[in-house]
């Protein structure tokens, strides 16, 4: 972008400037990004001299998409405001969803409770204590009907935060509701999380099936959507959750891309062409604390995805190589101490996501480290996004930080390191092998431990925790999900099991078992089973019985 003569002149001036700097003391010996990249005092054209504008930066909506996946980005349409919601009974969640829509959210984001994610019913005596706490319980189709009651799913897109183990059941239930409403599946918009890495590594759990069959179940949903629900995102590689463990931006991107590659390879193995399904693969990233690094991360991600899809998989449809992503601001950075500070953290993180070109955003509530969001807290989280959209004017031009010497340099560095990370995973035989070997678990434990040490040494500063602590406490209202949720669900289950056609249920479960044994797509028989009001535990038990239980590697 600069001629050799200009660069020489800049270099000479820089030498002069460095001499002046010698008289100025700095706060630290070394400045680093969260991911460990050394940060220079200043970035100049010299740092981006090898970057070619058209090849590396380009225009939004055109390869390599560094500046954005659409030509007009937020000038055309704001990102979707999509707050996570789910607790208590399906009725409670339905009410909160309506509250969020009334107060300006533009997409749904439903999270299910732990027993549901694990394929256990609310009347399971081992797990009934946990019903309705981490999300909303869904035992049968009735619960999905209740959650969506009065909600215009034909007009709104719905993100279903479903574990890879029950995504087939939960998604089938959503489709069954759509079917009952006479909606054409081809016009349904939404996302399944359905990420096998979540269950194989990032969520601890008991009684998990092994990674390979788990992966197979997730790809069944991709395949089903490719054929029947073409506008739906069947999978959302959940880098946000990976990042919450303490890994860095390079690892976050490396793992989501390795995961996407494993999914694509399986679909190709099944005989599909990449352009048939790749346009609907989607990503879910964190908006963490290091403001500029996060922005560079999103830009790098777009360029990396373009290169992977074009060079590795020879995609031809531009929709296959545009990187679509939802962002959540980083929950693990929020503190129980001085909780109102979390509003500020979330605002900065949300700004990074917007400057980075996210398609959809969830902002955390300030009580994140204490409880599920109260209505008041989630309203502030919503307004954080409304203020960004309506008051800051950052949305009036596309990729405003493009051309910043620091941002372009960092974007390139991150890209380079991510490709190196992918090579490491490839050398192990791909992500699933890396999981089986315990390598991913080990990467994660290491990161967890290192981060904690950095906090305890005071290297990683957390306001209110290891600096600027206060004695006085600002009381915050504690949200309590409905303590009667388990009882309510148990009663529903009792009734359903009496009223449904139990013969039919048994038939559908037998069909599901046969499909598993014959390695066929499980979504078809699952869809039949949920319509017969089979329970999530009845369906998941089939998977556990056919695929067996895996002992996760424990690495310290």
Partner 1 sequence: MTSERKLRVLLAKPGLDGHWRGVTVVSKALMEAGMEVIYVGNQTPEQIAEVAVQEDVDVVGLSILSGPHLKLIPKVVKLLKEKSAEDVLVLVGGVIPKEDIPKLKKAGVHEFFGPGTSTKKIVEYIQENVKKT
Residues that bind partner 1 (CB under 8 A): 114-115, 117-118, 120, 126-127, 129-130, 133-134, 202-206, 244-246, 332, 335-337, 369-372, 445, 448-449, 452, 456, 462, 464-466, 473, 478, 481, 552, 554, 556
With left for phi above 0 and alpha for psi between -120 and 50, is residue 520 left, alpha or beta?
beta
Which C-beta is closer to partner 1: that of 204 or that of 396? 204
In whole angstroms, the minimum distance from the beta carbon of 245 to partner 1 comes to 5
Minimum distance between the CB of residue 458 and partner 1, rounded to whole angstroms? 10
Burial label, 151 (beta-carbon count in 10 A; 0-12, 13-18, 19+):
middle
Report the residue number, 65 or 114, with the smaller CB distance to partner 1: 114
Q: How far is the CB of 294 from partner 1 (least distance, A)?
A: 20
As measured in angstroms, the least distance from the Cβ of 34 to partner 1 is 16
Question: In the complex with partner 1, which residue's Cβ is closer, 200 or 301?
Answer: 200
Nearest approach, Cβ of 295 to partner 1 (angstroms)? 25
Lookup: tokens for 183: 């909606």
Residues 353 and 327: beta-carbon distance below 8 Å: yes
C-alpha distances out from residue 454 to 10, 155, 254, 450, Å = 37, 47, 23, 6
Token pair listed for 33: 């990004």
Quote the CA–CA distance of 326 and 248 in Å, as a whole number: 18
Find the shortest distance in angstroms from Cβ 330 to partner 1.
13
Neighbours of 261 (CB within 10 A): 18
CA-to-CA distance for 15 and 181, rounded, in angstroms? 70
Shortest spacing between CB 260 and partner 1, in angstroms: 22
Q: Closer to partner 1 at the Cβ: 227 or 245?
A: 245
Q: Would you say 106 or 482 has its CB closer to partner 1?
A: 482
Nearer to partner 1, 42 or 448 (CB): 448
Which single residue is written with the structure tokens 């019903």? Answer: 131
Least Å distance, CB 120 to partner 1, is 8
C-alpha span between 394 and 358 (Å, rounded)? 13
Angstrom distance (rounded) from CA 16 to CA 90: 67
**Least distance between partner 1 and beta carbon 367 (Å):** 9
**Which CB atom, from 3 or from 204, has the smaller least distance to partner 1?**
204
Give the residue with the Cβ less far from partner 1, 20 or 554.
Answer: 554
CA 213 to chain centre: 22
What is the Cα–Cα distance from 511 to 524, expressed in whole angstroms? 9
Q: Output 33 or 124, the one with its CB closest to partner 1.
A: 124
Pairing of the two strands 84-85 and 235-238: unpaired
Q: In what order do the strands lie in the sheet with 325-329?
A: 80-81, 360-362, 325-329, 281-287, 235-238
- Supply the minimum distance, in Å, between the C-beta of residue 134 and partner 1: 4
**What is each CA distance from 266 to 191, 215, 216, 219, 382, in whole angstroms?**
20, 9, 8, 7, 38
Smallest distance, partner 1 to C-beta of residue 108, A: 22
H or E stretch at 160: strand 158-161
Tokens of 436: 């089986």
Radius of gyration from C-alpha coordinates of the chain: 24
Instruction: Closer to partner 1 by CB, 86 or 107: give it.
Output: 86
Asked if residues 298 and 353 have their Cβ atoms less than 8 Å apart, the reply is yes
Nearer to partner 1, 126 or 503 (CB): 126
Residue 550 half-sphere exposure toward CB, CA atoms < 13 A: 21
Q: Could you give the 3-state DSSP secondary structure of residue 169?
A: helix
Q: Which is nearer to partner 1, 180 or 453 (CB)?
A: 453
Judge residue 101's burial from the number of C-beta atoms within 10 Å of its C-beta, 0-12 exposed, 13-18 middle, 19 or more buried.
middle
Q: How far is the CB of 112 from partner 1 (least distance, A)?
A: 12
- Using the 8-state DSSP alphabet, how is residue 54 labeled? I
């Amino acid at each position: 972008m600069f001629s050799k003569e200009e660069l020489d002149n800049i270099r000479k001036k820089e030498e002069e400037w460095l001499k002046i700097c010698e008289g100025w003391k700095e706060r630290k010996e070394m400045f680093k990004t969260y991911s460990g990249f050394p940060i220079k005092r200043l970035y100049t054209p010299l740092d981006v001299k090898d970057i070619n504008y058209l090849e590396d930066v380009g225009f939004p909506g055109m390869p390599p998409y560094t500046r954005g996946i659409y030509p007009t980005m937020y000038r055309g349409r704001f990102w979707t405001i999509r707050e996570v919601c789910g607790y208590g009974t399906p009725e409670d969640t339905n009410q909160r969803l309506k509250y969020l829509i009334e107060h300006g959210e533009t997409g749904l984001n439903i999270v299910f409770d732990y027993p549901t994610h694990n394929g256990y019913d609310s009347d399971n005596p081992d797990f009934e204590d946990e019903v309705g706490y981490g999300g909303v319980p869904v035992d049968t189709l009735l619960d999905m009907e209740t959650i969506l009651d009065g909600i215009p799913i034909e007009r709104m897109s719905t993100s279903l935060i479903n574990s890879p183990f029950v995504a087939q059941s939960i998604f089938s239930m959503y489709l069954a509701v759509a079917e009952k409403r006479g909606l054409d599946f081809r016009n349904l918009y939404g996302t399944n999380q359905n990420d096998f890495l979540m269950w194989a590594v990032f969520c601890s759990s008991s009684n998990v099936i092994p990674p390979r069959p788990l992966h197979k179940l997730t790809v069944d949903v991709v395949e089903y959507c490719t054929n029947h629900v073409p506008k739906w995102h069947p999978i959302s590689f959940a880098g946000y959750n990976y990042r919450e463990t303490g890994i860095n931006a390079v690892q976050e991107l490396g793992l989501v891309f390795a995961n996407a590659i494993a999914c694509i390879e399986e679909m190709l193995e099944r005989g599909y062409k990449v352009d048939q399904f790749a346009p609907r693969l989607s990503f879910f990233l964190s908006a963490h604390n290091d403001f500029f690094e996060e922005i560079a991360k999103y830009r790098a991600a777009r360029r990396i995805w373009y290169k992977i899809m074009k060079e590795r998989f020879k995609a031809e449809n531009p929709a296959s190589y545009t990187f679509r992503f939802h962002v959540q601001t980083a929950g693990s950075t929020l503190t129980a101490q001085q909780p109102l500070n979390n509003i500020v953290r979330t605002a900065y993180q949300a700004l990074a996501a917007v400057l980075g070109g996210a398609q959809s955003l969830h902002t955390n509530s300030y009580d994140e480290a204490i409880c599920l969001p109260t209505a008041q807290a989630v309203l502030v989280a919503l307004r954080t996004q409304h203020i960004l959209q309506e008051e800051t004017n950052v949305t009036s031009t596309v990729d405003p930080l493009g051309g910043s010497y620091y941002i372009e340099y960092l974007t390139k560095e991150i890209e380079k390191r991510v490709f190196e990370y992918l090579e490491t995973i490839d050398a192990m035989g791909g992500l699933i092998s890396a999981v089986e070997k315990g390598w991913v678990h080990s990467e994660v434990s290491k990161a967890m431990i290192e981060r904690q040490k950095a906090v305890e040494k005071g290297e990683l500063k957390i306001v209110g925790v290891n600096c600027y602590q206060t004695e006085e406490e600002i009381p915050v209202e504690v949200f309590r999900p409905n303590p009667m949720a388990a009882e309510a669900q148990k009663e529903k289950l009792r009734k359903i099991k009496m009223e449904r056609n139990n013969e039919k249920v048994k038939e559908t479960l037998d069909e599901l078992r046969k499909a598993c044994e014959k390695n066929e797509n499980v979504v078809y028989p699952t869809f039949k089973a949920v319509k017969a009001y089979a329970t999530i535990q009845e369906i998941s038990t089939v998977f556990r019985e056919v695929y067996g239980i895996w002992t996760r590697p424990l690495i310290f």
